């Protein structure tokens, strides 16, 4: 005999508890004498994932822009308080069965059968899956990674460990929280395979950056590092080690134990055994659901982490919403008003949910996304509608969550601008250039652009002009980075288009998109650490490199004899395929660099399809050879370029270099900097390295991909269209930019008091005079406001240009891009 219900909810996590609470509400409203639903939990307690959180953990209630919809309460607080509140709700009347693990489901809407581990059977008309993914932790993936006392995949109480060296592997919220809690009594390393904490909630991002920057805490981060191997302890109590691949090479860290928090994977085998489809082969893929969380199986709904979004508040809202839908209510989701605002200026009247469905189906990249992740992307993006110039003045002003209007026929961006927004075209057309003065390409609905600068950090190449009545989605870089890091299908799709367009820009091939895509599928993407060799002088070459990001040095006759530099979008090694196969130079990554490796067969296919462009390629190669040969004939100049590259100027876009043969040490540059920036200089002339009369002082280089921008919690570090990197007023003084800058170009400082006027200085001796250094004591208000980050902004907007350069009486101070370094050293 089996029990029969209108609804069976599987899993008593936040989503399942909220769904059960709403189902209980309807039972009370309808005066039901017996429960119409059952909440099935496979363990002996509810919310087992939160029960396993470390003791005293602060549980956040993000996203902050959403209101909570649930019969159960939930606000940010300690784990114990939240669990106690939910326990009260359960005791108030929720029909829950513990130790009731569901192992099989069959049937159809109206007559499902759920088989339990105990052998019991539950019959239900509808099923809500809220089982989560936490029971399937991702392993380290190297020999010896089985769970043990040395390698752990969960952490109950951080206070159990004291005076140890502990490595936490992972960059998500759980990893951050574990690492911070452990660092109260231990030395902790946190390992992040990315260059920023793109998946962390805002609160955890702030916390981990504060810990990294706290010089009194034994807390260290290894960015862009992956696990290469383990050395297990010889016996209990002894040290083992973790072997890492880092940007600077292999690193071995001895430790007492490793806490691996690499996320979880869906229980795919069980899900698919219930006839639920998961269309992507990725192990991280979640089931496909519609806007009402219904899977491909009618009557079977999926909410919470298994639906692709693990945030507690969102899961609880989904639990509420799915019960509303099952009971025939047309309740709009909590984020509906935000979406309605996003679409408010569209030239047609449609419900926001219908617009979401339309846009997700219209754009192939969006179809690869979970609908819930797509909702977040739209909320964080900006909808752009192009209007005729005559109508633009009458358009409503744009707000944070409203449609943005632009004039048709005007560029969305221009050649040479520094911007990293990613654009997706939904309707209309965009005319796109892939290089300055290059041919125009038509972008059609469903296609995207802007990926070149997003990935490389280089300024825009060519213009992008929008036609009338076009609709675009403009997504900020940080959201795209988060999406690409979490969705391998999206990342690979963007990478493929990047390669195709890079090939189009370099070779202008007359090939169909299918033929070009076939070539893009055969080329190889390579990564090189700073100092790593792409190819060596004298070897036979059968390939060239198209630089995707970073800088490559060409050296001849020695590692410090730099005869040329090549940057993103440029070719390296093409002489081997267009002339003599023997390499004339060695190619070395000046900074961390990615390239697209192109072998001879693919190269010949590209150039043979467009013979008219061969002359241009030959001319560019000839210019390169002439410049490199000229530099090779001047060993002192070549060594000078090598020095500048060694100082990291290969990733600079605007670096300050001082010619010591002209410098008289007057320090007018520093004084002018201070006078221009409220009494605080952003330049340290005396510090920095020198060689052969060239000096690289400590000053911002305005890097292609600025290190300081990584993980800025308030997004305070910005870049102008001209390339200047500056700090906005939203800085909170966390110090993360200071830590991340490898060149010491950022410092934290109190706001300087306003200087007395010239007459006060002349008549009464108040303050320091023009050009004199300001030694100030911060005011009480400045101390209350705290220190804020200070860095060179290249005097953006100043009519005379950088003050340091303008104030130099001898012309010794120069601000240069890497393309100008050769001119500098050759002219000396």
For the stretch 335-370, pLDDT in tens is 888 898 889 888 888 899 899 999 999 999 998 887
Q: For the residues 173-197, what does the mean pLDDT come to?
A: 91
Query: Would the CATH topology of 3-135+266-333 be identical to that of 151-260?
Result: yes
Give residue 698's pLDDT. 92
* 356, 375 Cβ separation under 8 angstroms: yes
pLDDT given for residue 396 in this prediction? 58
Q: Give me Rg for the CA atoms of the chain.
A: 30
Three-class secondary structure of residue 49 per DSSP: helix
CA 5 to CA 396: how far, in whole Å? 52
Q: Which residue has the tokens 């039972």?
A: 27
Task: Give percent of the chain above pLDDT 70.
Answer: 95
Split at pLDDT 50, 70, 90, the class of 633 is: confident
Can you give the pTM of this predicted structure?
Answer: 0.75
Distance separating alpha carbons of residues 85 and 268, to the nearest angstrom: 32
Taking the C-alpha atoms of residue 280 and residue 287, their distance in angstroms, rounded to an integer, is 9
> For residue 218, is the peptide bond before it cis, meaning its omega torsion is within 30 degrees of 0?
no
Q: Which of 709, 699, 193 is nearest to 419 (CA)?
A: 709
Q: What is the pLDDT of residue 397?
A: 55
Neighbours of 570 (CB within 10 A): 18
Give residue-wise pLDDT tens across range 436-445. Answer: 888 999 999 9
Q: Transcribe 375-431 into DSSP letters.
A: HHHHHHSEEEEEE-HHHHTTSPPP-TTS-EEEETTSEEE-TT-----EEEEEES-EE
Give the separation between CA 1 and CA 119, rounded to whole angstroms. 11
Give residue-wise pLDDT tens across range 659-699.
999 999 988 898 888 888 877 888 889 899 999 889 999 99
Alpha helices (H) in 555-613, listed in sequence order: 575-578, 600-608
Residue-wise pLDDT tens digits, 431-475: 999 988 889 999 999 999 999 888 887 889 999 999 999 999 999
DSSP 294: B
> Residue 221: is its pLDDT beyond 70?
yes
Angle formed by the axes of helices 312-326 and 14-30, to 10°? Answer: 30
- Cα 205 → chain centroid: 13
Indicate the class that CATH gives domain 337-507.
mainly beta
* Alpha carbons 654 and 113: distance in angstroms, whole number: 67
Q: Examine the pLDDT at 408 and tell me if it is beyond 70.
A: yes
Confidence of residue 395 (pLDDT cuts 50, 70, 90): low
The correct CATH number of 151-260 out of 3.30.1540.20, 3.30.70.2740, 3.50.50.60, 3.40.50.2300 is 3.50.50.60
d(CA 753, CA 756): 9
pLDDT of res. 394: 67
**Tens-place pLDDT, residues 746-796:** 988 888 777 655 444 444 444 554 444 455 677 788 787 788 899 999 998
Q: What is the torsional sign of CA 45, 46, 50, 56?
A: negative
DSSP state of 290: -
Contact 699, 682 (CB under 8 A): yes
With the C-alpha atoms ordered 14, 20, 23, 24, is the resulting torsion angle positive or negative?
negative
3-135+266-333 CATH fold: FAD/NAD(P)-binding domain (3.50.50)
Angle between helix axes 488-507 and 477-486 (nearest 10 degrees) is 120
What is the distance between the alpha carbons of residues 530 and 280, in angstroms, rounded to a whole number? Answer: 35
Domain ranges of the chain: 3-135+266-333, 151-260, 337-507, 520-633, 645-826
pLDDT in tens, 125-152: 999 999 877 667 788 989 999 989 999 9
Overall size of the chain counted in residues: 828
Q: Residue 772's pLDDT is what? A: 45
Helix (H, G, I), strand (E, B) or coil at 80: helix
What pLDDT, on a 0 to 100 scale, did the predictor assign at position 264?
76
Report the CATH architecture of 520-633.
Sandwich (2.60)
Mean pLDDT of 513-527: 91
- Tokens 């300055």 sit on residue: 436
Q: Can you give the pLDDT at residue 762? A: 40
- 713 pLDDT higher than 80: no
104: pLDDT strictly greater than 90: yes
Q: In Å, what is the CA distance from 521 to each residue of 392, 513, 548, 569? A: 43, 12, 16, 18
pLDDT of 763: 45
With a cut of 60, say whether residue 400 has pLDDT above it: no
What is the average pLDDT value for the chain, to the nearest integer? 87
pLDDT of residue 20: 96
Specify the 3-state DSSP secondary structure of 567: strand
* pLDDT computed for residue 636 by the predictor: 87
pLDDT of residue 761: 43
- In 3D space, the residue among 346, 359, 424, 421 whose CA is nearest the CA of residue 385 turns out to be 346
Judged by DSSP in three states, 174 sits in helix
């Amino acid at each position: 005999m089996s029990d029969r219900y209108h609804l069976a909810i599987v899993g008593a996590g936040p989503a399942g508890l909220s769904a059960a609470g709403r189902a209980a509400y309807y039972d009370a409203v309808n005066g039901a004498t017996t429960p119409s639903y059952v909440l099935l939990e496979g363990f002996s307690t509810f919310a087992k994932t939160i029960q396993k959180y470390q003791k005293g953990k602060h549980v956040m209630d993000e996203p902050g822009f959403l209101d909570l919809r649930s019969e159960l309460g939930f606000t940010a607080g300690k784990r114990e308080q939240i669990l106690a509140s939910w326990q009260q709700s359960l005791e108030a009347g929720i029909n829950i069965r513990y130790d009731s693990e569901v192992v099989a489901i069959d049937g159809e809407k109206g007559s499902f059968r759920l088989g339990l581990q105990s052998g019991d059977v539950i019959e239900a008309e509808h099923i809500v899956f809220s089982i989560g993914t936490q029971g399937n932790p991702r392993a380290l993936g190297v020999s010896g990674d089985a769970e043990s006392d040395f390698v752990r995949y969960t952490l109950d109480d951080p206070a159990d460990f004291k005076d140890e060296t502990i490595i936490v592997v992972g960059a998500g919220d759980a990893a951050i929280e574990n690492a911070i809690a452990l660092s109260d009594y231990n030395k902790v390393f946190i390992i992040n395979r990315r260059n920023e904490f793109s998946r962390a909630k805002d609160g955890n991002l702030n916390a981990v950056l504060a810990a990294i920057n706290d010089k009194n805490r034994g807390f260290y981060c290894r960015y862009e590092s992956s696990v290469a191997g383990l050395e297990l302890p010889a016996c209990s109590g002894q040290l083992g080690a973790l072997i890492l691949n880092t940007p600077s090479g292999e690193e071995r860290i001895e430790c007492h134990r490793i806490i691996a928090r690499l996320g979880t994977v869906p229980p795919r085998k069980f899900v698919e055994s219930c006839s639920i489809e998961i269309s992507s082969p990725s192990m991280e893929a979640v089931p496909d659901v519609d806007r009402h969380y219904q899977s491909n199986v009618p009557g079977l709904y999926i909410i919470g982490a298994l639906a692709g979004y693990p945030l507690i508040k969102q899961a609880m809202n989904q639990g509420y919403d799915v019960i509303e839908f099952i009971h025939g209510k047309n309740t709009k989701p909590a984020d509906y008003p935000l979406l309605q605002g996003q679409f408010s200026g569209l030239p047609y009247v449609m419900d926001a949910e219908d617009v979401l469905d339309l846009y997700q189906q219209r754009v192939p990249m969006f179809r690869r996304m979970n609908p819930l992740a797509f909702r977040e992307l739209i909320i964080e993006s900006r909808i752009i509608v192009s209007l005729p110039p005559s109508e633009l003045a009458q358009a409503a002003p744009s707000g944070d969550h409203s449609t943005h209007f632009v004039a048709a026929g005007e560029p969305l961006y221009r050649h040479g601008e520094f911007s990293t927004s990613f654009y997706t075209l939904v309707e209309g057309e965009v005319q796109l250039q892939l290089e300055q003065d290059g041919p125009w390409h038509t972008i059609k609905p469903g296609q995207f652009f802007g990926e070149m600068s997003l990935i490389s950090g280089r300024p825009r190449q060519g213009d992008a002009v929008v036609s009338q009545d076009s609709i675009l989605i403009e997504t900020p870089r940080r959201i795209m980075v988060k999406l690409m890091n979490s969705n391998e299908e999206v990342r690979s799709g963007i990478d493929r288009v990047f390669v195709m367009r890079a090939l189009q820009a370099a070779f202008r091939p007359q090939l169909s998109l299918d033929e070009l895509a076939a070539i893009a599928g055969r080329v190889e993407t390579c990564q090189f650490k700073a100092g790593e060799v792409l190819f060596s002088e004298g070897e036979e070459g059968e390939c060239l490199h198209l630089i995707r990001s970073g800088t490559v040095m060409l050296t001849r006759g020695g590692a410090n004899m730099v005869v040329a530099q090549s940057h993103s979008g440029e070719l390296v090694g093409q002489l081997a395929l267009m002339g003599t196969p023997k390499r004339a130079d060695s190619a070395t990554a000046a900074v961390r660099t990615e390239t697209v490796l192109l072998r001879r067969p693919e190269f010949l296919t590209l150039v043979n399809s467009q013979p008219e462009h061969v002359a241009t390629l030959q001319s560019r190669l000839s210019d390169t050879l002439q410049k490199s040969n000229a530099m090779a004939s001047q060993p002192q100049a070549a060594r000078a370029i090598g020095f500048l590259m060694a100082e990291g100027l290969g990733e600079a876009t605007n670096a300050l270099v001082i010619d010591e043969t002209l410098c008289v040490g007057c320090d007018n540059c520093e004084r002018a900097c201070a006078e221009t920036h409220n009494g605080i200089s952003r330049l340290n002339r005396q510090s920095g390295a020198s060689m052969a009369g060239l000096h690289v002082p400590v000053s911002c280089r305005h890097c292609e991909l600025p290190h300081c921008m990584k993980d800025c919690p308030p997004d305070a570090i910005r870049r102008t269209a001209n390339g200047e990197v500056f700090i906005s007023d939203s800085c909170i003084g966390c110090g993360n930019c200071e830590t991340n800058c490898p060149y010491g170009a950022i410092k934290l400082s109190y706001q300087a008091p306003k200087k007395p006027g010239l007459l006060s200085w002349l008549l009464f001796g108040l303050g320091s005079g023009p050009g004199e250094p300001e030694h100030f004591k911060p005011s009480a208000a400045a101390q209350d406001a705290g220190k804020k980050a200070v860095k060179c902004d290249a005097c953006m907007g100043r009519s005379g240009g950088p003050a340091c350069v303008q104030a130099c009486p001898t012309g010794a101070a120069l601000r240069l891009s890497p393309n100008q370094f050769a001119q500098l050293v050759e002219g000396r």
